[in-house]
Structure 1
């Protein structure tokens, strides 16, 4: 089992990128790879230690295909860090609910933001699919940040 590490530089200040992760309206706009949506009414975010987030990723082509995701935050430092334990159902190649750890770091790079995500454990195949999912999601996040 592997930990996935994804790093991405966004052309936006840390505060904007952080808000995209903790503001329910914004999360619903960009989360999920291209071809998937997150209905706004499925999103709840309470970004504090002991708080949680919940949402459902739904296939645009087949709305019956969905992945509910919920997490409990263990560490939250505004504009700097989100750490939590996720429970995900519907991951390809898995049965039932899967428990993952997630660490999202926000680093100021002179007005831009270097995002570092650590997530897992994954099988090598699921790690690669998850990496592709994040990268696809980030194309939607780039558009949302540009419009902010």
Structure 2
């Protein structure tokens, strides 16, 4: 990352109207992940999803633009910490992002907390430039709207 661009982490907290185990499962079950992940206007084909939820395991899938299938965004992340129903920590190494070096590691930490009969998710991801952080916040927020709908079923 260039010296003129400050890095920062995206930090989001969201309350879901579902027990912690159900919210955690939505992040780790391939069938559910395919139903909600990606901002509105993007989908994740179920046949692209592969998840191995353990330390050293992975989460792989492809987000595809609903209006133009030639636009896609593969995700290939590794888990470094896993505590069932409580914590998912991992990273993804990416290349070709303007303002960053040849290979950048984006880390993501998802904490699942009981909030009565609901779940408080704390998400931390980065490092991002300020503009990228805004886009990531918007993307996660849009995805979480889809997750709310899934959890309400």
Structure 1 and Structure 2 fold alike (TM over 0.5): yes
1:46 aligns with 2:46: no
| Distance of 2:87 and 2:72 partners within structure 1 | 28
Structure 1 unaligned segments of length 5 or more: list them.
none
Counterparts of 1:1-148 in structure 2, within 5 Å, are 1-88=7-94, 98-147=104-153
Specify the SS of the correspondent of 2:111: strand
**In the superposition, relative to structure 1, how do residues 44 and 121 fare at CA in structure 2: closer, same or farther (>3 Å)?**
same
> How far 1:99 sits from its partner (Å)?
2.3
2-structure distance, mates of 1:53, 1:96 = 22
How many residues are matched? 147
SS at match of 2:149: helix
Question: What TM-score comes out, normalization by structure 1 length?
Answer: 0.93
Larger radius of gyration: 2
After the TM superposition, list the runs of 4 or more consecutive aligned residues in structure 1 that deviate by more than 4 angstroms.
Answer: 88-98
- Separation in 1, partners of 2:122, 2:111: 5
State the secondary structure of the residue aligned to 1:7. strand
Which runs of 5 or more residues in structure 2 are unaligned? Answer: 1-6
TM-score (norm 2): 0.90
